Every structure is written in structure tokens, then in C-alpha cells.
Amino acid sequence: MSKSLSKRVGELFAHVQDLLDTVTHTAIKRVDENKGKKNGLLGFFSSIGDAYFKKYTEIKKDTESK
């Protein structure tokens, strides 16, 4: 039995969100590794991104364990 259209669209949105999260996190890590230490503003936004992804990962783990 195949999944309903609404379920498939919902799963597609989840995959798109995960892809965007991965791309953003990778970009933040690269800025941090390359220029973040030299440029105060880039370093600031890189720190914000790191804090966001650390907290987001904790929230996802907590949600999955329930």
C-alpha cells in the first residue's frame, strides 16, 4: 500500500528542511574555519549559527526519545 499524498508531501518538506540545515551548518563551519577568527562580524554570526545548531540538535534528540 502506498503512502498518501499528504504524507509524501510532508516527508518531502522534512527532507528539504534537513538539506537546508545541512548546507547552512556546513557554510557556517567553513566561515569559522577560514575567516571567522579574523573578521569579528563573520565570527559573531558563525558563533550564532553554532549555538543555534547545538541547541537544535539537543531539541531533536529530546523529541525523538519521547
> Is residue 48 in a domain?
yes
> Is residue 12 in a domain?
no
pTM exceeds 0.85, yes or no: no
Per-residue pLDDT of the chain (66 residues; tens, 9 = 90+): 688 999 999 999 999 988 988 888 787 777 767 665 556 777 777 778 888 888 988 888 887 776
Quickly tell me which residue has 562580524 as its cell. 41
> Is residue 46 in a domain?
yes
Query: And the C-alpha cell for 53?
Result: 545548531
User: Burial of 36 by CB count in 10 Å (0-12 exposed, 13-18 middle, 19+ buried)?
Assistant: buried
The CA-CA-CA angle for residues 14, 23, 63, to 5°, reads: 40
Range of the domain at 35: 24-60
The total domain count for the chain is: 1
